[in-house]
Structure 1
Amino acid sequence: MKTTRQPVLRIGGRVSLRIRIRSVAVVLLLTGVALAAAVVLIGTGDFPMSFADVLSVLVGSGHPADELIVRELRLPRVLVGLLVGASLGLAGALFQAVSRNPLGSPDILGLGQGATAGALTMIVLFSGSAAAVTAGALVGGLVTGTAIYALAWKRGVHGYRLVLVGIGVSAVMTAVNSYLITKADMVDAARAVVWMTGSLNGRDWAQVWPLLALCAVLVPVVLANERGLRMTEMGDDASYALGVRVERLRLVLLACAVLLASAATAAAGPVAFVALTAPQLARRLTRSPGPNLVPSLLMGAALLIVADLLSQRAFGSDQLPVGVVTGALGGVYLLWLLVTERKAGRV
């Protein structure tokens, strides 16, 4: 049988890196798509700008009026979109790798609902400011993630039990959110429904910097543990034999995933299905085993930016929140996934 040899990069004669050409090509492609869509999105609005004009402003040679529109009004929104999409894509890849289940994502496991419960608590019970709502969403996601891990623990955390516990917690949090909506007055209920849709409207630099700082800390931690995560796919016993501290690794990576998903939800609301679909689409493109963390991160960023661009351009003056677009597209993908899994005999 003919086998394909993969290029090996040797560093100093002691360290070697195996390079998957297809994975590198996918990473470059997704980076290009995300950046190109971001530039087009910056030029979209009541005052349209060409691709070249946006690039001129970004490199510091644009018209002063254009600089105000780009740097103060549109660039923060696009950066939040990129960071939220990247955070959700990476969080989804971690949950699916740890649970070894294609349905393991913050949407299914209840983290989004927990973050929503925290935000609704601040809106309905305290009429909190935008900063308070963001803090409430972050705390709600962290508390929910901690509860899921504690309830799923039984001499370790295993994927099947983690998904089942997450689905149960999701149902409870959904009920809590419905109760909070019924207790709200008309103004707070309308505000809560807008937040629950998931949107990038009105996002500014105040949302960019905290999310950027969190990603700058967590992404290197996750990537540094990718090798250990890849080894766990061989099973816990084999991983322990190779020196991987499996439960410690899972705890660290799940904590990072919960923080990423909660921070993304706090910044843009519960944007549906990006965390579920991004890792699977990335894996189908790379055709590479393993968690595919970097492709998933970039796929999440590209998906959210393209969805936001679609929401602004496809519906004329009736612009939809990006959460509506990702929910519709993600729901179709989930149905297709379930049908495919059923035909393969895995469901």
Structure 2
Amino acid sequence: MSAVPPVAGLAARLAARRRARTAVVTASVLGALLGVVLFGLVVGDVPTSPAEVLAALLGGGDQRTQLVVVGLRLPRLVTGAVVGAALGASGALFQSLTRNPLGSPDVVGFTAGSATGALVAIVVLGGGTAAVAGGALAGGLACALAVLALSSSGGTTTGHRFVLVGIGTAAVLTSANGYLLTRASLGDATAAQTWLVGSLDARGWETAVPLLVAVGVLLPVALAAQRTLALLDLGDDLAAALGVDVPRARLGAVVVGIALAAAGTAAAGPVGFVALAAPQLARRLTRGSGAGAGAAAALGALLLVTSDVVAQRALAPVVLPVGVVTGLVGGVYLAWLLGTGRARSGPR
């Protein structure tokens, strides 16, 4: 008879297999993202060939092609990819921490808080782009702190309590946002409503570069927390027994998740469903027990960039806000998720 492999060796092989599958899935998603980005650089109201796009990216080509490809299309695509990555990673962190698939920033009110801050900057202060971004960051952080304070009991926060408090906070803030819109002038209300849906219109390098720097710092921190988050998924007691400082690890992940969500929302508005769907799709594709931040970030970037290309070309020359497309995709995804869950649970 062959010897039964030790449990430790079997666990190590399974972990290595999961890491390999996650790497393959992430690489495949990034390859698809590159293809969508190249497609987005070619298509548009101003026709450009792949050769012209390549020449413009390498610093050549005529002035018109340079303006269209490098000055207009590329920063919009970069902004969309980075915003999607930030939202996807943030959703993965919060869903892992709360052990709840609904524990994403758009469900628990963080993006609603960002929207409130941006509306205050637009309607009350009459600020410009920088003021709106700053207001969104401040609003998202303030909302996150309030949800954490209200959902904590005895110094700890449970996943279900966190989600319920977040949903209630989001409802209150949505009402406040509606009131602010009624007090705004027609021009401010139109601009604010477009931002509230989620849009990448007129996003240039002045938006893309600071966002890229911020997420470039935050995303590696989220990726470095993967092993700790996996241990937290096993339960606080077991994680503590394995040497994890549970309160510190949870606080660090919460801070990084809040910062990622606030940065993405400040750049593109409260784009819906990306933070909710990307981690779940990543978990299904990688067949992991939790939603990894790396795969979720890649899928978030792919979802948002693809949705934006569809939003620009589906009803051309009319350009839809990207939040309209992500909302449609997210609604279909949720309906499918509920349907498959009901089918698995069977009749009651």
TM normalised by structure 1 equals 0.92
> Does the aligned pair in 2 maintain the 1:197–1:323 contact within 8 Å?
yes
Task: Give, in whole Å, the separation in 1 of the partners of 2:188 and 2:67.
Answer: 32
Instruction: Single out whichever of 185-194 and 142-151 deviates more from structure 2.
Output: 185-194
Q: Aligned with 2:201: secondary structure?
A: coil
| 1:310 aligned onto 2:322 | no
RMSD between aligned alpha carbons? Answer: 2.3
Matched AA of 1:46: D
Within 2, Cα distance between the matches of 1:288 and 1:51?
38
* CA distance in 1: counterparts of 2:209 and 2:226, whole angstroms: 26
CA offset digits 1:27-79 (Å, max 9, x no partner): 11100111110111122222122234323322334444322222212111111
Give the 3-state SS of the residue equivalent to 1:109 in structure 2.
coil
Residue of structure 1 in register with 2:139 after alignment: 140
Whole-angstrom CA distance in 1 between matches of 2:199 and 2:289: 33
Q: Distance in 2 between matches of 1:332 and 1:19?
A: 29
1:1-347 → structure 2 map (5 Å cutoff): 20-154=19-153, 155-345=155-345
Q: Deviations over 1:119-175 (max 9, x none)?
A: 111111111111111111111001001111111111311211111110111111111
Partners in 2 of 1:52 and 1:287 — Cα distance? 39
Give how far 1:339 is off. Answer: 2.8
Partner Cα distance (1:287, 1:53) in 2: 41
Match of 2:43, SS?
coil
Between 175-184 and 21-30, the greater mean CA deviation after superposition = 21-30
> Which whole-Å CA distance do the structure 2 matches of 1:68 and 1:109 have between them?
40
Distance 1:182 1:90 in 2: 34
Alpha-carbon distance between aligned partners in 2 of 1:191 and 1:345, rounded to the nearest angstrom:
45
TM-score, normalized by length of structure 2?
0.92
Contact 2:76 2:204 in 1 (8 A): yes
Whole-Å separation in 1 of the counterparts to 2:291 and 2:248: 18
Give distance in 2, aligned partners of 1:193 and 1:299.
27
Contact 1:119/1:140, CA 8 A, preserved across alignment: yes
Q: Which moved more, 1:19-28 or 1:237-246?
A: 19-28
Mapped to 2, the partners of 1:240 and 1:161 lie a distance apart of 22
Q: Report the Cα offset of residue 7 of structure 1.
A: 9.0
Q: Structure 1 counterpart of 2:130, which letter?
A: A
Whether the aligned pair in 2 keeps the contact of 1:6 and 1:20 (CA below 8 Å) is no
Separation in 2 of the partners of 1:74 and 1:284? 32
Q: 1:198: Cα distance to partner?
A: 0.8
Give the CA deviation at 1:195: 1.1
Q: Distance in 2 between matches of 1:19 and 1:169?
A: 37
Alpha-carbon offset, residue 101 of structure 1 = 0.8
Residue by residue over 1:271-290, the C-alpha shift from the partner in whole angstroms, topping out at 9 and shown as x without a partner, is: 11011000111111111223
1: CA distance, partners of 2:163 / 2:307: 27
* 1:157/1:247 contact within 8 Å kept: no
Q: How many residues align?
A: 339
> 1:311, 1:322 within 8 Å by CA — same for their partners in 2?
yes
Compared with structure 1, are the counterparts of its residues 99 and 19 closer, same or farther at alpha carbon in structure 2 (3 Å cutoff)? closer
Give the distance between the partners of 2:279 and 2:256, measured in 1 at CA: 16
- Larger deviation: 310-319 or 88-97? 310-319
